[in-house]
Structures are given as C-alpha cells and as structure tokens.
Chain A
C-alpha cells in the first residue's frame, strides 16, 4: 500500500480518538500498529479458525463427514474467488468453470498417480495448463460478448467434459480416476492434514486476491466493468486485462480442481457438468460480488448448508430436492432484493448500527474496529465503504424500487 503515510496523516488529522467513519481502508492496510487492524492478520486468523474447526474432528467434536463438507467448501471457495474476479470485478460471465476445474483435477490425478510426479509438480501443471486455455479464451472474449461469451465458454466446458469421458487411457473414462493424499517433502499427509493444507491454500488465495483487486489491476477491472469503451478511452488496455482476468479465473479453477483430486482422492466426469458451473456462480452471487469473505460465505451456503443444516431439519430434511430449491430461491431472492449478496446485507446492517451509534453517543474505536472487521476488504471504489453499499452498484442492481415502478 503506497498511500499509507497519507492515510495515516489524514486519519490523525480528522480525529484520532473519536469514531472514524472513513478509516476502514486505513485500518485494513495497517498503518496503525494494532495487529487486529491488519487485513492479512485477519485472513490468517480466519484460517486458524477454519483449521481449528477441522482439527476438532480428531477430538470428536465434529463428525468426519462434516470435515469432508468443510473441505469441499474450501476447495469451491478458491474456485469461486476466481469466478468473482471475472464476474464481480471485471463483469465478464463464464460458464466454463466446471470444465477447467475438472481439467485441473484430472491433470493432478494423472501426473501424481500415473507419472509419479511430485505433488508440487503436479499442482503446478494443474494450474498452468488450464491457465493457458484461459488466456486463449481471453483472446476470444474480445470478439464475443455477453451471452455469446457465456455460451462459448460453455462450449469449451462441454468439449472438456466429453474428453474426460472418452479419453479413457488418460482419464479412466466413466469409471473415473483415482488420486491420493499429497506427499509434501516426504511427509505423507492424511485426511486432516490435507484439510489443513486446503485452509492454507485458501488463506493464501484470499490474500493474493485482496492484493490484486486493491492494486492498479483492481482499478482497471472496475473501469472495465463500468464501461469498456470509457475504460479503453482512459487508457486501460482491454486485451491485457481481459487476458489477465480469464487467466486468473482459470488458474483458480485449475488449482481448485487439483485440490479436489487431492482431498477427495477421486475424480470422474459427471461431477464436472454445467450444474457445477452454476453452483459456483450461485456461490459468488449469494455471497456477494466483489467481496472476498462473502465468496467464502457463499461457498459455505451452497456446499455445506444443505448437507450440514437442511438435512438435519425435521420433515424437510428427508426430501432430496430441497437443497436445490433452497439454493435456487436464495439466488433469485438475493439477485432481486440484495444485489450485494450476504456480504452486502452484513455491511448494510453494520452501517445502520454504526449510524445509530454515531447519532447516539460517540463510542469510538470499538465500534469502528468491528465495522472494519466485517467490511468488504476488496473494494476501493467505495461501493463497500459508503454507508449504503447498494449505491455504487447500479450495474447489477435490479432494484426492488424499479420493480415497484413497473407494477404500479
């Protein structure tokens, strides 16, 4: 953060002791010495919490199956963060996520089981090869727009899926392909330690994403999403940033696929169909576009809530289609009424609470720091920082208000 000194001065100049309505950025980038204000420390804390939840399985506090669902959440959170870069930050839509994720999983499984390449080598291959595909799609995306792009990526995904089914010598065909827990520098990991590895990867990816979207690239993405023509006129190199955003999204998907192979130890074609791409999209939308924690929450809602919570409810829990309906209704409701997703709802509540506190007696640093805690870290445009988060988001906002205008 090269603007730290300015921010620090500004904060001090305004009011060093009172409530600090504008300091979430400053607190996040850490000019204050407090450890809790440091965004990276918060990511690590989040990771430690996730790791502890997983570790509690060995004490019998959570069930073994719960660890599996949580591992799934971590894997898909990585993939969803990639899609969020594409859909949320740059405004490009893709339906190819499942194909690339499957590609990564097959590469990882093939190179570790059949070629005896080390974990790191296979991981690298599983990330790089899909990324190259992503770059090609980035080129294509300059010619194809909107829905056509979505369908073109769906086309790529379908080609990959059919290849998984047909290239039996490499992929095992419909039987699927086995993989094993990773071997790190001679240590053979088991289920729990692989879970910890997933947590570490997710935290690293969250940090990476945070840095990406708060730097120059993030600003370029925002400009592109607002208006590509205007962005180009302002000197944003559309080709470069489209290539980067597609490359990143596919790299995350490839990484997620490799992690899937290492954690589930098995990969087969029917997992990687269009419905998975839709689920990842759902996670991004439900959690909140342009929100890093929101995406992780979204992944939790989509992959863990149906199995961990809905299945345990009386009556409804017995019916098999309920998770689908739950997610479907959630997507529609979120898009119609809360275009910023669950993260947006959280921010609105916080902002309202803050306003009440501020209008009452100024309670100072405690309120401010909790506010910074839950705010979207990844939005320099002010969409998340403004008291009404929905405002900066006209592009995606369907608006309950416009609906009323129609149905009068």
Chain B
C-alpha cells in the first residue's frame, strides 16, 4: 500500500492505483474526458494533468501514472491550473460553440469542465475544423464536429460490448470516429456510447431535440424489458416519459443498459389502452367501469376464476390478484404463459445462484439453451468479463454470435448426458464455475444440468427473461402442470394481468378479462379490457432472475381512464362481493410482505440451498431455436415502440431506413 501526499494530505492508496484514483480518494476532483472507471486507460485527452514529485518538472497525466510510495501530488498549484486551462483551450479550438442547439447541453462534461477549469475566452482566430456526420444506426445520432477524440466509444465497443465496430480512422487533425463504412452499430448495448460520450458528438437519435435535462423529473425505476432488472432512471416531463437512463448498480447492471430497456419508452405513449372496452356482438366497444364490473359479476365465477400474470407485472399486482382469487376460493394462478411447468418446490433450483457479479469470477461456464445476448445482454457482458479473465465457455444450443470465444456443442440437449472429456476437465479444473440454463432448455435439461453442476461443484443458474418471473414464483404463480392445469380447470373467468404471450384459444368459453396497458395480443383476445398502468406509472416491487428484490417508483400518471392495477383488482373484489383485506397501497404491500417476507427487503432473497440433484437425470430433446425471435420486439411496450420497430427492421431484418416523404 503506497503512501502518497495529495495537496499536503497524506494517505494510503491501494496497490496498483493510479495518481488520479489517489486524488479521488483524497477527495480532490480531477477533470477528465477520456478516463472512465470501466474502460481501459487511454491517456489522450490530457485533461487530468497534475503536478507530481518526484518526476519531470512538468504536469503529468494522472490517469495513466501509477501511484508510488512517497509521491507528492499537487492538484492546486499554479502549474496545474495553467495546464488545465491550456488543455481546455486546445480542446475547444475545434469544438463548435453550438451549445444552444446541442442535446448534450446541461449534462455535458465539456461544458461543465470548461466553466470550472477553462479560461474565460479563446484566443484562437483561425478556421475551426468541421467533420461530416457519420451514420451509426437508428439509435445514435452523431454530430462529429463536436468530437474531442476521447475514444471512450471505441473502447466501449471493443472492451465491454465485444463488437469491434467503432474506430478512429485518419490521424492528427483528420482523425475521425466512425463505424466501418458508416454501418449501423449492431449490438444490444450500442446506445451506451451515448452516455459515455463526454460531449454532444454521440447523442440519442430518438430523443433528439425533445427536452433539456433540467426540465425533466427524474424517477428511480427498474427496467422490465428482461429479467436482469437493470436499475434505471426515468426522465419524464408532464405526463410523458422522455427517456430511460441507466443508474449505477455494480451488482446488477454496472452502469449499462440494453438498447431495448432504454428505447422502448416511446412505446409507453403508443397503442395504449386508455378506456374500458367490452366485446359486444363480437366487437370491442368502449364501455364504462361500472358496465365492465357488472358484466364480470354477472358471469358469477364463484370459485371458477383464474389469473395469468404477464411478463412485466410487479409483485403488488400479482399479490392483489392472488388475494382476489383467494377470497373467491380459487388457487388458479400462473405466470409461465408459454406453458412451462418446471418444478418450483424449491426456488433455488430456478434462480440465478452465482449472481451476476459472481459470474465474472467463473473459470468455466456452460450455457444450456440460452441466447444470452438477446435474453439478458447485460449478463453477456459479465460472461465476456469472465472470458477475459480466462474462463472457457461452452454452449449447448443453436449457434449465436457470442462476443467472446465459445465452443458450441450442438443443438441436441442429449450431449449433456455424454459431454466431451475436455468440457468436464475444464469444469473440474476451475476454482469457480457456472452452469446457466435458459428458459428454452428448462423442459429438457433442467435436471441434468443441475446434476452436472452439483457433480462439478459449479453454481447452478437459471436465466429467465421475464421481469415478473421470480416475483411471480415467490408469490406462488405456478401450477404443477403449468398453463395446462388452468386450461383443464375450465375457469368461468380468466383474469389476464397483461399476459400477451399466452395462447387464449383454449379459453374460448371463458370470460377473458384483460387488465393491461397495451393493445397487444392479450387485448385482442379479451372480452373485457380494463386499462391499467405500465411499469412507469405505478410503484412496484420486481425480483430479477438472481432473486434480487428491487423497488421501482411511479414516474408519470397512466393515460386516460387507466388505473393502477391493484386499484382495479380492489374494485373488482367489491364487484364480486369478496373481501381482499386491503384498501390502499400500503396495506397491500404490508399484506404481501407478511405473506412473503423476502419481498419486503431490497437485495438478494434467500431461497435456501439447492435441492439434491437427481444423479440419474437425463437430458433429452433438441433446441432448434431460441424462444426469442426478435430481440427488439419481445414485449407489448417494445412492440408499440416505433424506435424498437425501426431497430428490428433495420438491424435484424436488413430493411432500409424508412424516410418520411416530405
């Protein structure tokens, strides 16, 4: 632990720390553009200059200088001040003064730091350089004249995303950041370069010229586009969510967010259900709440009522539905819409047990039937980190483009019964290892994968891709036979909590009540539609695939007649003349926590130890395709989002950019 002095303050810094980190530990602010904690050190912006003794009598770039014993660092000397002013003046030489029309304005590092560390005015009188715009796809808007060549975007795509797409061509004054032949950046994390860009060179295309940061109300929320539960911030103005940005949470999403989680928010104001609808003579007609509730009461469901939870509902909604059904005397609740029926007697067996952070330290990883890049892009980032540390990755299932070297063992799940020798050896040699089973392979390979994991001493993980899954399972939204049990019970009334992926055909004689927020598949099949709130419009608890309980806050009000889901279910209880035992959200929440205490505590839920694996389990079946067919259109919000549709057609289906005819 080297001891250094920063501005006269003596402190010990960890081995391997840089001078910049030492200054930060001492509480000094060091201006920087190219340095980023999660990227490699580039040292090319020169903004972090400090004075270091011993060393040459000139300012040194602190981000790339290791802290060593006895260093005397000054961040407040005249030399440092002049150096910063000089660097800033050079950076601004070619930077346009277009802050008033720049989307980064108000949250721009260059703006802030030039105020804090720059000179009052420029002395440059020559022509500024101009760079043509580069096309980088439907999500990233570029104004390359503003680029200060920090290369954060280049390093992000190479190091974190693992897709070498962005590069710096040319040299000196002619250096330009671009993708090869201006092709779109085609990966699921591409929009993170927008956050990384310290200036307005890469900005958000869908959000261009929409709002200024200081006009926005910031609400802490949870991403529901997959089961990772990325921590996000919803920025809203009035009743509209303008954008979603990732929050820092090292345990979950570090500081990244998938493009879907970030850009499906425009779907929140499209195709919304904002009125009550009832099917009259085969057609959905607008109706009133009263009519709808009376119609449901008229069906006299009694005990014959079932509820199916969709992929994006919060625990409170599910609990309210469960309470309603319980009051009616029914236990027909299910969340696995597509008919999966794995055993849920021990939730540890269907949980991501190694945790995302722990996955980074695995020495060998076996992925069974999961297209991780699409099912959980942020988990793929962790696996890539593990591979960089030397992990070996094996995949059972159809080929997908991993962003790291991986060995594909074939589509036949039976290969697990007789794994090649080197696979077993890799796992035996690894200190820590992990087996990841995707939703698609749970049917054929759950037992065998668990047996392998216990045999190797590996962490056993199930990777879900529905944000509501773990919460639903904790609340008991699972029948022994899955959806088949619900079908068999032939309920008189079926309450669909935003279930858009399920098959409504077997329920032809059932009164189908859809409580949801988007006019998607579920609403099309419903007899009664009760408009509800999306994840942005209600408080709620979500549990991610590693069993992490997280709380999301309400950012905006639901449109039109739409209500928060629990209030609808509460009113429905009155209509059906049953008691559910809560009258407000706080009561609902405490009833839920009383039943499942783990939901009351943010953090990892404890599911106990894994069940004893059945050593004789055999894997069978073939994975010919993964459940997700189109990464950008996996949920009703994304399907309603124009941005996601455009991404899907342009990035996945090779469509041409649809320009509006003007």
A and B found bound together: no
